[in-house]
């Protein structure tokens, strides 16, 4: 029997062969909407939830386990701890890899090219608007009434081995309260993804900037499109895909140029640094510190240059792989050590990981 749980709307799978039930699976998703409606809400222009506890984000310790209640099953007040479930999709987002690399061989991706895709890449563009990908995933999922196996608004909060079985502690949001209960399984497959918890490096003066000007410090996950940055002075940090995408998108929108902190940083070997060579982008080295004294918003760089009156700093600096539901599994260097073929947890082969290669 397969049970599915999606933390951050990405699959978390429980696999067991002992239990016999009338249905063969169940998927836990943290939203009350149907899958189609749930995915439609992404790409909106609602302001992102502000970043908090930047020091914990810098040390990769922001996503802590939720404290379990003493009485299970039972109800508790609603959990207020951040679970990093928001999406990074903005309204006009397009894929940046060929569509054939994302489809199953027997299930081709179909869908018309958007006007923006055609404008940027022509009639034979290999890229697709995010809604095409949403519809593709939804169509696969809704076949054979698979959606009936979903229990929305449910989180897996603890996975622990007790004897020969896995004890799974679940939390479902109900109105103003949370309901907790336990299920038992023979094996666990972790496929919860690792692009959920933002990584924001420690920068002297960064916390002070955010405290004095809430919303001025963002992660690329919080990007909702170029409109919010019209006429603003923006610094983008990072040398990979998200930073390149945002830097290019903001050219011609922001005040003066986009200041891209990329010099001396590792560049994505697949995509290169062509986006940062745009004449509307000013390449900068690492930030040394930020001066907020006397109302300043000045970003200083290690080469002695600076940018004054900065409105936003957007960090495209990746994510921290976090497994708060598996406190006994330790993460080292943003990876889970001891995985045979990057899948099987060698300390216990009944625990497996999917998608643990490029973290």
Q: At residue 33, does pLDDT exceed 70?
A: no
Average pLDDT value for residue range 136-159? 81
Would the pLDDT of 38 be above 70?
A: no
The pLDDT value recorded for residue 44 is: 54
At 267 the pLDDT is: 81
Mean pLDDT of 250-263: 94
Reported as type and span, the H/E element at residue 108 is none
- pLDDT at residue number 46: 66
For residue range 277-325, list pLDDT tens digits in order: 999 999 999 999 999 999 999 999 999 999 999 999 999 999 999 999 9
Position 45 scores a pLDDT of 58
DSSP H helical ranges for the chain: 35-40, 54-58, 115-121, 130-141, 206-212, 241-250
Q: In terms of Cα–Cα distance, which of 318, 222, 242, 239 is closest to 286?
A: 239
CB 42 within 8 Å of CB 35: no
End-to-end CA distance of the chain: 29
Q: Where are the domains of the chain?
A: 2-93+129-195+320-353, 200-317
**In whole angstroms, what is the distance from residue 359 CA to residue 318 CA?**
9
Q: What is the 3-state secondary structure (H, E, C) of 136-198?
A: HHHHHHCHHHHHHHEEECEEEEEEEEECCEEEEEEEEEECCEEEEEEEEECEEEECCCCCCEE
What was the pLDDT predicted at 43? 53
pLDDT at 51 over 80: yes
pLDDT in tens, 58-92: 999 999 999 999 999 999 999 988 888 888 889 89
For residues 273 and 268, give the distance between their C-alpha atoms in angstroms, rounded to a whole number: 7
Report how far apart, in Å, the C-alpha atoms of 27 and of each of 109, 207, 355 are: 24, 38, 18
In 3-state terms the chain splits into helix, strand, coil percentages (rounded to 5) of: 20, 30, 50
In angstroms, rounded to a whole number, what is the distance separating the alpha carbons of residues 142 and 163? 37
Domain range 200-317, its CATH number among 3.20.20.140, 3.50.50.60, 1.10.150.650, 3.40.50.300: 3.50.50.60
């Amino acid at each position: 029997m397969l049970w599915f749980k999606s933390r951050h709307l990405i699959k978390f799978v429980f696999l067991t062969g002992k239990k016999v039930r009338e249905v063969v699976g169940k998927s836990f998703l943290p939203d009350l909407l149907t899958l189609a409606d749930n995915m439609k809400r992404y790409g909106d222009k609602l302001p992102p939830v502000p970043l908090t506890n930047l020091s914990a984000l810098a040390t990769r310790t922001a996503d802590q386990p939720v404290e379990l209640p003493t009485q299970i099953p039972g109800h508790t007040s609603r959990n207020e701890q951040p679970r990093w479930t928001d999406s990074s999709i903005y309204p006009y987002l397009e894929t940046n890899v060929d569509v054939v690399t994302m489809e199953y061989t027997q299930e081709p991706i179909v869908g018309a090219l958007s006007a923006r895709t055609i404008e940027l890449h022509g009639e034979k563009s290999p890229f697709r608007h995010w809604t095409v990908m949403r519809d593709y995933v939804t169509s696969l999922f809704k076949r054979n009434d698979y959606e009936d196996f979903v229990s929305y608004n449910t989180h897996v909060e603890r996975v622990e081995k007790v004897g020969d079985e896995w004890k799974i502690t679940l939390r479902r949001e109900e109105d103003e309260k949370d309901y907790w209960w336990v299920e038992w399984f023979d094996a666990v497959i972790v496929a919860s993804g690792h692009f959920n918890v933002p990584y924001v490096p420690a920068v002297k003066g960064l916390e002070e900037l955010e405290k004095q000007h809430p919303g001025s410090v963002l992660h690329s996950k919080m990007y909702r499109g170029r409109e919010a940055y019209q006429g603003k002075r923006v610094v983008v940090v990072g040398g990979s895909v998200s930073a390149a995408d945002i830097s290019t998108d903001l050219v011609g929108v922001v005040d003066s140029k986009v200041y891209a902190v990329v010099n001396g940083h590792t560049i994505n070997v697949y995509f290169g640094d062509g986006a940062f060579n745009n004449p509307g982008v000013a390449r900068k080295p690492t930030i040394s510190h930020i001066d907020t004294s006397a109302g300043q918003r000045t970003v200083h760089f290690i080469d002695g240059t600076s940018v004054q009156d900065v409105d936003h700093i957007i960090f495209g600096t990746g994510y921290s792989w976090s497994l708060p539901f598996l406190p006994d599994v330790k993460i080292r260097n943003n990876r889970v050590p001891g995985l045979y073929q990057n899948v099987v947890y060698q300390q216990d082969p009944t625990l497996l990981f999917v998608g643990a290669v490029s973290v």
